[in-house]
Amino acid sequence: MVPYIDAGTVISISGEAPASAPATNLHAEIRIASIEVAPPLDHQGGRGGTLRELPLVLRTLGFEPDAIIGGYGLNPRLLDNGDNPLPATSVGGLLEACVTTTGCRHVGLLVGARARTSCFGMVGLLMQHLPTVSDALRCLISHGHLYHPGAVSILDATDGTAMLRYRFSPADAPGGIQMVDGALASGFRMMQALCGPDWTPVEVLLSHPGGGDEEAYRRVFDVPVRFGQEATALVFDAEWLSHPVPGADPGFRAILELQVDALEHLHDEALSSQLRRSLRTLLLRKGCSAGRTAQLFAMHRRTMSRRLKAEGHSFQHLVDEVRYDIARHLLGNASMPLAEVAAALGYSEASAFTRAFRRWSGLNPKAWRLGAVVRHGLPEPAVAPALPVV
């Protein structure tokens, strides 16, 4: 039976280095990594991850990395280690600054293409010591938020085909295209590491237009690449999900699981942040209700309501917030009819979606899509009344 996985965290753990890079000694890495636990994060932050590869990419393009990174306001030494804490809002902004300075429109793609498992510390190493590709992806689903709290991934497996989709939140965040491209390319490398050299996707989908540099994407993926699609995704044969991970060692797995658990305890994420990630998947599955969501977190609905209220939220407010973000993402694809956007968000009629979107943003969807306002200036969704406790 083909496994089914969905996720609320980005698939951005990298695979092995490109063929031109030297092989990594995983056992040596594990011994070194087990000496110390990565520093804690603040609630809004992530970790450097694949940005560790950015300085080398900039040098390859003929630019001095410290000048660009420092000019953006970050200490360049933060990128020396993928486990270093990094403000989540800095990732996209830094990549966008690199695009502006270098004139290369696919910096994120180049960074992701150089990604290695070691860029993601304990989580990446643990993935390489789990029994199957499915197990490794479940690990990523559980712990990927440690590297970018605004990242989203969904993995579907139907009729023998698997689709691994990527997206970042908020949908109009600075550098969003660069971040998604980087996640896609690093996910590609990650799958190569988990499955071995025989793995290859059937095709690669990108929700943004090519922009004249389509050949750069084809050089990285070496399979058909389609731009302007509904989703950004890797499409591959679902049989690979049950493929054994080569070289997996149960002994190392036990050690690494303890250290990843330690990272989770340091993170100490708020319930509202966890719910946002889950809702991004549940809303697209049309299975979102307060009762069902509470069950997924092994708590009663009233307990969930109390905890959210203590954090200054209600369940309906989070639903509206996530719906608004998904709506902006889908509306960014100009070829997707409004009726399909409404249906994807669970509205039976486009008119109901239009009323909701106007309440969130002050504009109707067509005006937003046509660029009647500066996208980054849109307001946050209006807070819905707290749900009654029953």
178, 108 contact by CB (below 8 A): yes
- Look at residue 161 and give its three-state secondary structure: strand
Burial track 253-285 (b if 16+ CB lie within 10 A, e otherwise): bebbeebbeebeeebeeebbbebbbbbbbbbbe
Amino acid (one-letter) located at 178:
Q
- Where do we find the tokens 């509205």? 347
Determine the Cα–Cα distance for residues 45 and 38; give it in Å rounded to an integer. Answer: 13
Determine the Cα–Cα distance for residues 51 and 45; give it in Å rounded to an integer. Answer: 14
pLDDT of residue 373: 41
| Among candidate residues 249, 214, 24, 239, the one with its CA nearest the CA of residue 106 | 214
Determine the Cα–Cα distance for residues 23 and 7; give it in Å rounded to an integer. Answer: 30
| Among candidate residues 113, 39, 108, 43, the one with its CA nearest the CA of residue 78 | 39
Neighbours of 307 (CB within 10 A): 16
Q: Which residues pair with 232 in a beta bridge?
A: 166
263, 122 contact by CB (below 8 A): yes
> pLDDT means per 10 residues in the chain (390 residues)?
34 34 34 35 61 94 94 88 73 90 94 85 89 89 74 82 82 81 91 90 90 88 91 94 93 88 73 79 74 77 87 89 86 83 86 91 88 46 40
Q: pTM for this one?
A: 0.68
Cα angle 189-192-196, degrees, rounded to a multiple of 5:
155
232, 166 contact by CB (below 8 A): yes
Backbone φ, ψ for residue 225 (5° rounding): -120, 125
Predicted confidence (pLDDT) per residue in 268-295, tens digit: 667 887 788 778 777 776 667 888 888 7
pLDDT of residue 198: 87
Query: Sign of the C-alpha dihedral, residues 248, 253, 259, 265?
Result: positive
Neighbours of 45 (CB within 10 A): 17
Neighbours of 59 (CB within 10 A): 11
pLDDT of residue 327: 87
- Look at residue 90 and give its three-state secondary structure: helix
> What length does the chain have?
390
Query: Sign of the C-alpha dihedral, residues 133, 138, 142, 145?
Result: positive
SS (H, E, C) 183-241: HHHHHHHHHHHHHCCCCCCCEEECCCCCCCCHHHHHHHHCCCEECCCCCEEEEEEHHHH
Question: Alpha carbon of 130 to those of 205, 262, 282, 324: distances in Å?
Answer: 28, 18, 26, 36
Determine the Cα–Cα distance for residues 229 and 214; give it in Å rounded to an integer. Answer: 14
pLDDT of residue 151: 72
pLDDT of residue 267: 63
pLDDT of residue 41: 41
pLDDT of residue 89: 64
Predicted confidence (pLDDT) per residue in 185-243, tens digit: 999 999 999 998 889 999 999 988 887 788 999 999 999 999 988 888 999 999 999 99
pLDDT of residue 139: 85
| Among candidate residues 186, 189, 387, the one with its CA nearest the CA of residue 306 | 387
Task: Answer left, alpha or beta for residue 62, where phi above 0 means left and psi between -120 and 50 means alpha.
Answer: left
pLDDT of residue 14: 32
- Look at residue 164 and give its three-state secondary structure: strand
